[in-house]
Amino acid sequence: MRFNLLRFLLPSREPAADSAGTASDPAQEQPNPVARELVLRATIDGIPVEEVELFDMNIRGARILVPFQFAPTELTDQSVALDIEHETGNWTVRVHAHMVQLNHWGDDRVMLEIEFTRVGELYAQLDNALGRYFNRRGSDRVAPADHERVGVRIAYGPHRVRGLASDLSSTGLCTRAPLVQAAVFHLGEQVKVYISLPGKQEEIEVAGVVKHGYRLGEDVHLGVEFDLSAPCAMTERRTEYLKYIEQRRKANVAEGRARRLGA
C-alpha cells in the first residue's frame, strides 16, 4: 500500500521513529553506552576469535570488529556464536547469528555485520535489566558538523530532488529539501539516493525506501531507509560511509560533553 506524502506534510508535524534511525528524537542523539559495558567472546564456524570488539548492537543484530586474520573469505553459510558478558561478570547471554556484511576497517581489523537467527532464544534470556542493551533502535543517528554540508540527491522516475542531510545513520538518513520539490514523493517509494560526503568528490549511490516525511516551514524532511540487498556503490564504499558516521558520532559526544560543562 502506498500513501501520498502530501497527507503528512502538515506544519509542525513530528515524525515517527523508524528502523532507518532518522526520526527527530533528541533523546537518541546521545550514543548508547552498550559497547563500553559489554565483553564479547565469539566463534565463527566453530573457530574461537580473539580480541572481539563490539561496535553496536540491538535486538536484530550487531556490528563487531575482529582481527583481519579471523575474517572469512566469503559470507555464505558463515555462522557466528557470541557470548555477551557484562563487564561486572554478573550475567552472560549466548546468541547465534549469521553474517550479512563484511567491511574493511583498517590495516588489521574488519567489521562484521551480523543478524541474530534465534531471536526467540535471545528474548528468553532477557529480563528487564538486560533488555535495555538490546531493545533499542537499529542504529544511532549523527548530525553533520555545523560547518559541513552533506549533499543528498534523491531520484525516482523523472523526479530529482536536491537537499542537505540533517542526520545520518548506518541504515538510512534524513534530508531537508524544498517543499515544492519533495512533495512528489510517496511513503514507501523506492528511490535512488546520492550522498556527497565532506571532502569526497565522488557521490555514494544507494537504493532506498521513503519511510517518513514531515513539513517544517517551507522545507520537507524526508527519512529514507537504505536497501543494501543489491550490489551498489554503497556496498562497495560502505567502510568509507561508516567511518564518517563514527567520526561524527565521536564528535557529537564531545560536543554534548562540552555543552553539559558549559564550554
Residue 190: give its domain's CATH number: 2.40.10.220
The residue written with cell numbers 554503497 in the block is: 234
Q: With the C-alpha atoms ordered 116, 238, 191, 231, is the resulting torsion angle positive or negative?
A: negative
The residue written with cell numbers 551480523 in the block is: 114
CB 243 within 8 A of CB 55: no
DSSP 8-state assignment for residue 8:
G
100 & 163 share domain: no
148 & 254 share domain: yes
Q: Which residues contact 232 (CB under 8 A, 6 or more apart)?
A: 205, 206, 207
CA distance linking residue 112 with residue 72, whole number of Å: 10
CB 88 within 8 A of CB 120: no
CA distance linking residue 234 with residue 241, whole number of Å: 8
127 & 170 share domain: no
Tell me: pLDDT of 33 over 60.
no
> Does the residue 102 lie in any domain?
yes
The residue written with cell numbers 523506492 in the block is: 190
Q: Which residues contact 216 (CB under 8 A, 6 or more apart)?
A: 11, 12, 176
Give the SS3 label for residue 226. Answer: strand
Of residues 204 and 64, more confidence is placed in 204
Domain end position, chosen among 84, 110, 131: 131
pLDDT for 38 equals 81
pLDDT for 139 equals 56
Residue 92 structural domain = 34-131
CA distance linking residue 116 with residue 126, whole number of Å: 14
Domain end position, chosen among 109, 131, 153: 131
Lowest mean pLDDT among 78-92, 120-134, 166-180, 248-262: 120-134
Per-residue pLDDT tens over the stretch 111-148: 888 888 876 677 667 655 566 666 544 456 788 888 88
Question: What torsion do the CA atoms of 49, 235, 188, 172 make, to the nearest 10 degrees?
Answer: 70
Average pLDDT of the segment spanning 198-203 = 92
Q: What is the CA radius of gyration of the chain?
A: 19
Tell me: pLDDT of 194 over 90.
yes
11 is written with which cell numbers? 506544519
Tell me: pLDDT of 46 over 80.
yes
Backbone angles phi, psi at 38, to 5 degrees: -115, 150
Tell me: pLDDT of 169 over 90.
no
H or E stretch at 128: helix 128-131
- Amino acid, single-letter form, for residue 47: I
> Does the residue 136 lie in any domain?
no
How many structural domains comprise the chain?
A: 2
147 & 246 share domain: yes
CA distance linking residue 1 with residue 19, whole number of Å: 18
147 & 252 share domain: yes
198 & 163 share domain: yes
Domain end position, chosen among 131, 155, 182: 131
